[in-house]
Amino acid sequence: MKRLSALGLILTFAALLVAASTAMSSQASPNNQPPRPLGVTNPNHGTRPAGHMPAIQPRQTLVQARQVPTFTLADVNAYLQTDAVAQDAARQHLTRTITFISAQSVGKMINDDFSQDAPILCYVEFTGKQPFTLNEVKSPSPSSMPRFTKAFEVFDGVTGDLLTWGGMP
Amino acid sequence: MPRTREASFSDSQEWKLIVTFFVVSILLMTFFLAVPRQAMANVGAIHTVSLPVYSCGGVGSNHCYGVDDWRGGNTGAYTSINVVQLHAGNGIMNNSVWAWNVDTKHWMEAGYAVIYNHNYEFWYWAYIDNNGTYHERDSGAINSGDFGNEASVYVWQSSSTSWQAAIYGWVTNYLPGSVTASIKPNYIQIGQELGGTSGSSAYTANWNYNEWRGSNKKHGQSDPCLHSSPDITNYIANAIFLLHTIIRREKHTQIKKETTTL
């Protein structure tokens, strides 16, 4: 009987340890995420691109006619009424200009690459009489918050998506 | 001679002892199984901290930060951030990693963010190029399946004149490609940034498995493999092995950080 009870105690302890370690490991690695980075590779399951941020709504008539851009100056102005950067610029009385221009030209102007995007882009520029900041800008510290003389937003001429935005010193 | 008394149990006493032990064991097992569930829920489902009034941005005031950072030269950084709900209030909020140079004010950052005029969160990355121009790219909405999971966020130098960012959520990714920039970071920073004056709140998020990348030729510049833990131990001043950071914003503009070693 004593042997039986001792065996029972040992088995119970073992079961307890297994249960505890299982519980602890599931906490340390929730959802079986890979616990260590393996360089810049996909996780161990497929993910899909999140795409660009949707912005200006293309006009179906222009889309069907295969025209580029697929939206008008009025559409851009209407969208900018709801756009955070444009509204920030408006509050600071910055001057706004909207141009439809080749992707290559925009790339040269702001030192960026739009070769994977539409051939015609919508470039919106905000200029001030003195350096300004935009509250939408993200930075690592207050002291590194950049001050701009120009800010810009770039929209894809086909999809109307916001491709990039920023500011120049 | 004193009489020695040998302890002994009858069979019935022994069975009672065994039954009692089993009951206690079951209670302990229940405890062990319950605790992790509570801990996981804490990551993204229970706690939300809202701020009544604060001064964290807008014309004439600065953003607020709840961050941890490491000093030292590096060529990139990795972190794994819990994707949780952020509410921007009347400004912006982002959970991010930054690789930056505090002297030149050049940096590259990536993470996820929310802004007051959108009712969804998005992946983003941003950087300052060699001309001092700020660039930001924002993704479409983060998928609902990304929430409650971790996102792998990388920024790294891909050549002497270019940098790259990559974000892998549980369902969606954001891989914007390489950009021209010659950033020489001497800081890595992780944490939360808040801009605005009212209405924001955030669920608790953790920045896990934080690592840095150096220019060690054993890895090679084209090898994106990040440094392993022993290198982190050397790099971080306090010899922290793996940093597990909980950023918590408290009343008004105070931002509290808690740092524990795993």
Task: Report the range of poorest mean pLDDT among A80-89, A142-151, B6-15, B105-114.
Answer: B6-15
How many contacts, defined by CB atoms under 8 Å, are there between A and B?
202
Helix, strand or coil for residue B148? Answer: coil
- Beta-bridge partner residues of B46: none
Please give the residue that has the higher pLDDT: either B14 or A97: A97
End-to-end CA distance of chain B: 57
Question: Is the predicted pLDDT of residue B88 greater than 50, yes or no?
Answer: yes
Chain A residues closer than 8 Å to B183 by CB = none
> Alpha-carbon distance A148 to A131, whole Å?
5
Residues in A 84-143 with any Cβ partner in B closer than 8 A: 84, 87, 91-92, 110-113, 116, 133, 135-143
Q: What is the pLDDT of residue A12?
A: 66
Question: Is the predicted pLDDT of residue B208 greater than 70, yes or no?
Answer: yes
**How far is C-alpha B85 from the geometric centre of its chain's CA atoms?**
14
Q: Give the tens place of pLDDT for each residue, B209-225.
A: 777 787 643 332 233 33
Nearest residue, CB atoms, B224 vs list A40, A111, A148: A40
Strands B86-88 and B200-203: antiparallel
pTM of the model: 0.72
Chain A residues closer than 8 Å to B21 by CB = 8-9, 12
Q: Taking CB atoms and an 8 Å limit, are A50 and B123 in contact across chains?
A: yes
Our CA angle for B48, B51, B55, nearest 5°, is 145
- Residue B133, min C-alpha distance to chain A (Å): 4
Q: Taking CB atoms and an 8 Å limit, are B32 and A54 in contact across chains?
A: no
Q: How large a percentage of chain A has pLDDT more than 90?
A: 69
Residues in B 103-122 with any Cβ partner in A closer than 8 A: 105, 107, 109, 113, 115-118, 122
Q: What is the pLDDT of residue B187?
A: 84
| Chain A CA closest to residue B15 | A5
Residue range A41-68: mean pLDDT, rounded: 89
- Does residue A167 belong to the interface with chain B, where contact is any CB pair within 8 Å? yes
Residues B188, B70 contacting (CB under 8 angstroms): yes
- Cβ contacts of residue A61 below 8 Å, gap of 6+? none
Q: Give the tens place of pLDDT for each residue, B124-173.
A: 999 999 999 999 999 999 999 999 998 999 898 888 899 999 999 999 99
Q: Taking CB atoms and an 8 Å limit, are A37 and B209 in contact across chains?
A: yes
**Is the bond leading into A58 cis (omega within 30 degrees of zero)?**
no
Nearest residue, CB atoms, B135 vs list A38, A136, A166: A166
| Chain A CA closest to residue B23 | A12
> Alpha-carbon distance B208 to B193, whole Å?
18
Tell me the H-state helices in B107-188: none
Question: Is the predicted pLDDT of residue B251 greater than 70, yes or no?
Answer: no
Q: B56 falls in which pLDDT band (50, 70, 90)?
A: confident
Q: What is the pLDDT of residue B184?
A: 92
End-to-end CA distance of chain A: 85
> Alpha-carbon distance A21 to A12, whole Å?
14
Q: What is the ipTM of this complex?
A: 0.79
